[in-house]
Amino acid sequence: MMLSFFSDLFAYEFMLRALAAGIVLGVLAPLIGSIVVVRRLSFIADTLGHFSLVGISASLFLSTLGISLLFEEPLFLGLIFSVVGGLLIELFRRSYKNYKEISMVIVISLGTALSAIFFSKARATGSIYTYLFGSILTVNNYYMYAILITALLVGLLFIFFGRQIIAVSFDETSAKFLGINVNIFQIIFMVMLSIVVSVMLESAGVLLISSMMIIPVAAGMKVGWSFRSTLAIAIFFSEMSVFFGLWMAYSLKIPSGAAIVSVNIVILLVVTLIKRIVQKSQIAKMNKEKS
């Protein structure tokens, strides 16, 4: 089964495109996911995904009305709504300072309600399934460009401001003493995250975006000994899950987002189990040495 997957991988352009998209997202998702985890906002990608679905459903609704947009791809309206959702979260976060999760519940509810209304009035709703659960095998050139541009933007942001991003994420109060305008930085990060979420929408699916961002990082945290090592390990796990997820999706004809996330969960469980066994054996060894 694996051999036929490999031969098909290089025989079909759509397969190669899916792999290329997966490899880029495999780096991008844990890179931005690690910052989301440090800021304790793991639920945020889910929220933004739901809000970008408003853009996609609105796109489908508008095409039902015969209104054509500047860009035909629903992805672009999804991107705009994702950014709006991110800014709304930031806005609500400021009025509920000690209850950060409230802002996300408000935005996720609004997003889901609006999406349901637009979908109910749209005619061509066949692609809902793709947007909910992801289909990396159907990505087109437009989507590929969107991923590459986003990766470039995020890469540049981390190269030039990575230290500041980490400083604000770990400790907002102390980041101020580096001369960082924390509020502006939070908005820039939120916009960046919203863009990443919207470009991940087609491959990972609304319901699984956050898992693709967070779970490799959660597994990396179990074995990482520093910020760098945790990130490197998370990227490695993420790439593994993309590759094996793609293989599963192709072979078993299941949604790619679901397959990738399933592999991620398996990796997390295996890492947790191995860590527990190693810790127990270390404690036993120490007790033996003591006695």
Partner 1 sequence: MQIDIHNLSFAYGHRSVINNLSLSLNPGDYMVVKGKNGTGKTTLIKCLLGINPVKAGMIFYNHQDITNFNKWPQFGYVSQKFEDFNYEYPITVNELLAVYSLKPTNQNHRLKMLDQLGILEIVNENINNLSGGQLQRVFIARAMLNNPEILILDEPTASIDKLNTEYFYRTVNELHAQGITIILITHNDSLEHLNYSHVLSMYQDMTYSFQSREKCDPAEVELL
Interface with partner 1 (CB under 8 A), residue from 94, 123, 163, 285: 163
Q: What count of other Cβ atoms lies within 10 Å of the Cβ of residue 52?
A: 34
- Measure the CA–CA gap between 52 and 269, rounded to whole angstroms: 30
Place of tokens 């072979």: 251
**Near partner 1 by CB under 8 A: residue from 230, 238, 241, 262:** 230
Q: What are phi and psi of 41, to 5 degrees?
A: -125, 40
Segment contacting partner 1 (CB under 8 A): 130-138, 221-229, 255-263, 280-288? Answer: 221-229
Nearer to partner 1, 140 or 174 (CB): 174
Q: Which residue has the tokens 């109910």?
A: 120
Q: Which among 77-85, 163-171, 189-197, 201-209 is the span making contact with partner 1, rule CB under 8 A?
A: 163-171
Contact flag: residue 226 with partner 1 (CB under 8 A): yes
| 238 lies in the site for partner 1, by CB under 8 A | no
Please report whether residue 225 would count as binding partner 1 according to CB under 8 A.
Answer: yes
State the sign of the Cα–Cα–Cα–Cα dihedral 111, 116, 117, 121: positive
- Range in contact with partner 1 (rule: CB under 8 A) among 59-67, 124-132, 164-172, 276-284: 164-172
**CA dihedral sign, ordered 248, 252, 256, 257:** negative
Tokens representing residue 284 in the block = 């036993």
Identify residues 21-40 at the interface with partner 1 (CB under 8 A): 37-40
Q: At 129, is the secondary structure helix, strand, or coil?
A: helix
Residues in contact with partner 1 by CB under 8 A are 37-40, 163, 166-167, 169-179, 221, 224-230
